[in-house]
Chains A and B, each alone.
Chain A
Amino acid sequence: MIRVENLVKEFGGARILHGVGFDVGERQVLGVIGASGSGKSTILRCLNGLERIDGGSIECDGVRLEAGLTKAEYQRRVRELRRKVGTVFQHLHLFPHLSALGNVAEAPVQVLREPRRDALKKAYELLEAVGLAQAAERYPDSLSGGEQQRVAIARALAMRPRVILFDEPTSALDPRRTNEMRALLRRFAAEGHTLVVVSHSINFITGLADRLLYMEGGEVVEFGDAQQLLNSPREARTRDFTQQAR
């Protein structure tokens, strides 16, 4: 589903990602772990086209981004890519002027041109699915952090993406909510989505990810099967991180 090769990203001459490579199969969950500043969020931002890559390539469900493309062609492909990829940001970025229902239904109506009634009905079902049916008419500033997060997830799901990117989905959750979130994400994978989940919490990732990518300073330290990487890592640095972060 996703294949990333030799991905390079620079900010003003400073190289942030040094040739990152990994792949994710359909319906798989990829966990991206690593210390703060190691480049996890930047990988996600490259995957949904918010950052233009400076080297290597990204292939996702048949759409291929390369560093050498013209600006117009890159933009065209990014638009295509965004039809397939949904994102739940760390800071959510809910639309404060729309109700929970409006947040979820806005893009299906405006981008997919779904009839308003259908879109609202579907949005309501999605909110129901994440356990927020009773909050549909409320505005983001009256929702708790966990409720806001579930609105953001419903908003991404409404576009029916094949791939969903999550950046630190547990940063605003208490432990009980963390377990619920893990179950929810597992369900999405079972329902046919491919997930990339960035987290610095080993606890959360354990039992969720099929594959794990451990990042340090913009480089891949280790990439492989989640069980194996957690239980018997090849690299000492991986072991240090997973044990420390546990």
Chain B
Amino acid sequence: MKRTLEAAARLASTAVCLLFLTPAAPAQEALRWGADPSGGAPYVYADPSHPDTYIGYEVEIADALAKAMGRRAVFVPTDWETIVQALQRGAFDVVLDGLEPTEDRARQILFSKPYYVFNLQLTVRKGETRIGSLEDCRHRVVGTLSNTAASRLMEKQGIPFRGYADPVGAYRDLELGRIDAVLMDVPMEMFYARSNPRLKPAGEPFYKGVYVLGLRKGDEKLKAEVDAAVDKIVNDGSLETILRKWSLWNDAQLELRAASNPNGGAAAGESSGVKFEMTSATFNWRGAILRLTQAAGVTVLIAFGSMFIALGLGLLLALGQWKGAAGLRFLCTAYVEFFRGTPVLVQLLFLYFGLPVVGISMPNWLTALVGLGLNYAAYESQVYRAALEAVPRGQWEAAYSLGMTPALAFRRIIFPQAFRVALPPMTNDFVSLFKDTSVAFAISVWELATAYREMANASGEFLLLGAIVSAFYLAMSLPLAHLARRLEARMNRRRAVLAVESEVAA
């Protein structure tokens, strides 16, 4: 069916060409290649001067490969973290995005011959004196991209690292002092860090890995085509031209030329004769559960911390809105409307990326804690307000008649009653807050949602890990939800008693 459609489309385009009396070009098959263009320089990224077109050395390599194959290169933007899954779903035909061959990926997809030999480079702040190599980072935090040779290397060596979705964020956090070093493939390091006056390389480039194209299992025919095309552009110098243009050429690339003579079965760590190191995500369930438990701890910390802020600030907002002078009342209302009317995700991103511009920078977990706290304060203030208004005016008058000041009456008489009314909805909000901590993944906080995404992407264990993570969430939220229901039931019983009594009294 699909084929007939395609044929029909081709026929139609040919017809159009004929109509315009242009010589009908031989209909070219597409080579759809997937890559992540966000923070993707110098691989593939939106041209700063023409944001609607993509540039990068891999764009040019894709074009060269497609040309060698007699095809037409079509770029499909995608997300790095899920690039293997997108390939498997058929979103595109090949991955061409600085993909390194790894053992766990080898179980899921096919690799082409290598087209680039890369090294890793450690980067630190200009004034840094303590860090000269990766070994010096044992007790520091190193930023890198998730699920790359660099992240797997550090995981294996037990060096604490934080995974980012793009290099820009990692180098920015390094500048801000949120992390101590960044380890990245040399192409990215050259493009994002080498010219930054506040950063400097620490030590020499090390490690030797290769980039290959990724293909779906079973696509052997396309793999043969691609391998032949790689050989062609390696040997005819067109690859060298591209790499030189992007200042990525070095002598290490010559190995590819020597290796491209088709004469060897590829063993692990050796593809067509090029010797390279290969990392693998060593996935073991014990380690996974341990890291998930850690992540759950972070989730709990963020949830409790932000609820604490929300309850305190929410009360102040409610009081300001309720009894404040006109100006204060306006400010409080503006606060509430702002935080309820904009997405919490945007608020978090603003706190994390926007505040450093004016000199305020917090670590990411604290940003999440404060951000969610500020956001939930807006909601809790309304819970408080409704609860305060639900306390009858007679309670104030009775307190005043006993000689209490307004502050004392509020503290001892009004607030305790309002708090009881507010407790069930607050507990419910707390349950939502637990789930909302997952937005912290947007700023790479290692909480449950981030942990799930990163570990599942690295291992492919989406189902089982998903079940475990859900179990973690439920273990935290179910008892709370149960508590909320019990409180609510008790409130309703009390209200029913009061209603009966007032009927009797009337």
Contact = CB atoms under 8 A, between A and B. Distances in A.
Contacts of A91: 394, 505
Contacts of A159: 402-403
Given A91-B394, A110-B412, A172-B505, A96 B417 contact: yes
Interface string A138-153: 0001100100000000
B413 A89 contact: no
Given A93-B392, A141-B497, A107 B402 contact: yes
B403 A95 contact: no
Contacts of A112: 403
Interface string B470-506: 0000000000000000000000001001100100110
B252 interface: no
B125 to A, nearest CB: 56
Contacts of A94: 398
Contact of B403 (A93, A96, A107, A142): A107
B404 interface: yes
Contacts of B417: 95-97
A107 to B, nearest CB: 4
A111 interface: yes
Interface in A94-134: 94-97, 106-107, 110-112
B403 A106 contact: no
Nearest to A91: B394
A87 interface: yes
A52 interface: no
Interface stretch (A15-23, A59-67, A78-86, A233-241): A78-86
B398 A95 contact: yes
A82 B394 CA distance: 16
Contacts of A97: 416-417, 420
Given A93-B394, A111-B408, A50 B403 contact: no
A48 interface: yes
A95 B395 contact: yes
Nearest to A84: B403
A96 B491 CA distance: 12
A48 B401 contact: yes
A155 interface: yes
A145 B398 contact: no
A92 B392 CA distance: 12
B487 to A, nearest CB: 14
Interface in A164-210: 172
B396 to A, nearest CB: 9
B394 A89 contact: yes
Please classify how large the interface on chain A is, using the bins under 10, 10 to 19, 20 to 34, 35 or more: 20 to 34
Contacts, number: 67
A50 B401 contact: yes
Contacts of B498: 96, 141
A159 B392 CA distance: 23
Given A95-B395, A97-B420, A82 B413 contact: no
B398 A93 contact: yes
Nearest to A111: B403
A94 B501 CA distance: 13
A86, A92, A110, A142 — which one has the most chain B CB atoms within 10 A of its CB? A110
Nearest to B411: A110
A82 B397 contact: no
A92 B395 CA distance: 9
Contacts of A110: 404, 408, 412
Best-surrounded residue of B394, B395, B401, B416 (most CB of chain A within 10 A): B401
Given A96-B417, A97-B416, A110-B412, A82 B403 contact: yes
A18 B54 CA distance: 86
A4 B404 CA distance: 25
Most buried by A among B404, B420, B497: B404
Contacts of B400: 49-50, 82
A96 B418 CA distance: 11
A99 B232 CA distance: 90
A111 to B, nearest CB: 4
A212 B196 CA distance: 93
A152 to B, nearest CB: 8
B402 A93 contact: no
Contacts of B494: 141
Nearest to B398: A93
Contacts of A172: 505
Contacts of A50: 397, 400-401
Contacts of B416: 97
Interface in B253-296: none
Contacts of B501: 141, 145
Nearest to A81: B403
Nearest to A112: B403
A49 B413 CA distance: 19
B504 to A, nearest CB: 7
A95 B401 contact: no
A48 B394 CA distance: 14
A145 B180 CA distance: 70
A141 B497 CA distance: 7
Q: Which of A89, A94, A97, A155 has the most CB of B within 10 A?
A: A97
Interface string B403-434: 11100100011001100100000000000000
A155 B402 contact: yes
* Among all A-B residue pairs, the 3 with the closest Cβ atoms: A93-B394, A93-B398, A107-B402
Interface of A: 48-50, 79, 82-83, 85-87, 89, 91-97, 106-107, 110-112, 141-142, 145, 155-156, 159, 172
23 contacts: A48-B401, A82-B401, A82-B402, A82-B403, A85-B401, A87-B398, A89-B398, A91-B394, A92-B398, A93-B395, A93-B397, A93-B398, A94-B398, A95-B395, A95-B417, A96-B498, A97-B416, A97-B417, A110-B404, A110-B412, A111-B404, A112-B403, A159-B403
